[in-house]
Structure 1
Amino acid sequence: MALAFEAKASTGLVVPLLIVGDAIAVVYYHRHANWWYIVRFLPWVVVGILLGVYLGNDLDEGVFKIYMAIIILVSVVMMYWWDRRKSTSVPTHWAFAGLVGTLAGITTMIGNLGGPFSNLYFLAMRVKKNEFIGTAAWLFLIINLIKLPFHIFVWETINAETLLFNLKLVPGILLGMLVGVRLIKIIKDDFYRKMILVLTALGAVMIMIR
């Protein structure tokens, strides 16, 4: 949505839809969630969300998206290099979760771009496919619920008009979830990891050239 609408406006426009999608994913994949990752990552995301609320009114969206896209692309290249080395180590220092989590919070609040940073965190932790999906579903359900009051009362990007727009798209969300669940069952872990890296990089490029 950040590619189709202005970044700040898109976040409020789609937050209710994201909550619907996240809730469905939680129902289906909740048993796979690893709460250790959520507890370690979420506080930093909240810090980033608060910074995003403060910065969002004055930040140049074009410059912001270029910087974030560059950071994401560099991170993807590092992850690819890490995989090529066949390294089995994972980052354990709190600073890694702090940096990536804060960036995820800022970007999800301002431009709905938090997904690539959370993807990079879970990939760095070498989380398996179903655990990845279950943990991310819970994480983003909580994140989007936290963002909701800021969009309603501070930025005023959620109103009756946007909610009516959301209702029209709910059937598409449900259909997409059904298709996604079936595809996930046949995708192997290694391919899923590569697919996430490619889609993350592609998303960064699209953000940069928009």
Structure 2
Amino acid sequence: MPTLALWQWALLAFGAFSVGISKTGVPGLGIVSVVIFTLLLPTKFSVGAALLVLICADLLAVAVHRKNGDVRQILRLVPWSVVGIALGALFLNRMDDRLLKPVLGAVLFAICLTGIWRSQQKDVPKVPAWAAPLAGLAAGFTTMIANAAGPVTTLYLLAMRLPKEAFLGTAAVYFFLINWIKVPFSIFLSHNITWESLRFAVWLFPYAILGGLVGKPLSERISQQRFEQLALALTALGSLWMLVRSLIP
């Protein structure tokens, strides 16, 4: 396991806490954990450890929101996401950190621009039939290489005009499924999950659970309009930061 200073552990704990909040209350906040884990840990190790923290938070999110999920949206996304996960695992197995971060930053930035453009349209364009396959592929690929499917999925579900409760329920079940699908790929193909990453992640589980417990009452205090604005703003900021950081040597 990497040797870290106390302040680095504190940032990672905050990252895990933000994962919990994003799962049960404020989508988009999870990108904070992507940034923190990527900055403080070797990329492949961070992907495996962060995945285990995400799965921990997923269990709580599904317990809280599963009854509100939109099954149709989940079924539209998951098959394509599996393809994206497989492609991401192959990509991750062949790329080093120097190439991986700029690619991830560019992907997230493109997604961010799409979301901002869509939010500025007075007459919201109809979502085309190919949106779900494209979103599923992009989410599967980005979640495999850096657990960064949040921006893709957030923008897609916002485009679907789901009510806040349905949004959270759909995201909870969707991520629960694809994160578990990623586990065998992460163990046997990209080798992100190891005994070391598991031992590392266990220390962060309590913070993810605490964040999940905070997220639910927080979501109940946010209106639908503010919920959508906050989700888009956090996604945009996180995506832009990932791009800028990827360009810094």
Counterpart mapping for 1:1-210 below 5 A:
1-3=33-35, 4=39, 5-59=41-95, 60-82=99-121, 85-87=122-124, 90-93=126-129, 95-210=130-245
Which region of structure 1 is more displaced relative to structure 2, 118-127 or 60-69?
60-69
Residues 69, 173 of structure 2: 8 Å contact kept:
yes
How far has the Cα of 1:8 moved from its partner?
3.3
Q: TM-score, normalised by structure 2?
A: 0.78
How far has the Cα of 1:52 moved from its partner?
0.6
Q: Distance in 2 between matches of 1:129 and 1:194?
A: 12
Residues 89, 186 of structure 2: 8 Å contact kept:
no
Residues 7, 112 of structure 1: 8 Å contact kept:
no
Q: Distance in 2 between matches of 1:9 and 1:112?
A: 12
Residues 152, 159 of structure 1: 8 Å contact kept:
yes
* Aligned-residue RMSD, C-alpha: 1.5
How far has the Cα of 1:86 moved from its partner?
4.9
Q: Distance in 2 between matches of 1:42 and 1:151?
A: 18
Q: TM-score, normalised by structure 1?
A: 0.92
How far has the Cα of 1:79 moved from its partner?
2.3
Residues 108, 151 of structure 2: 8 Å contact kept:
no
Q: Distance in 1 between matches of 2:239 and 2:42?
A: 16
Contiguous gaps of at least 5 residues in structure 2: 1-32
Aligned length: 206
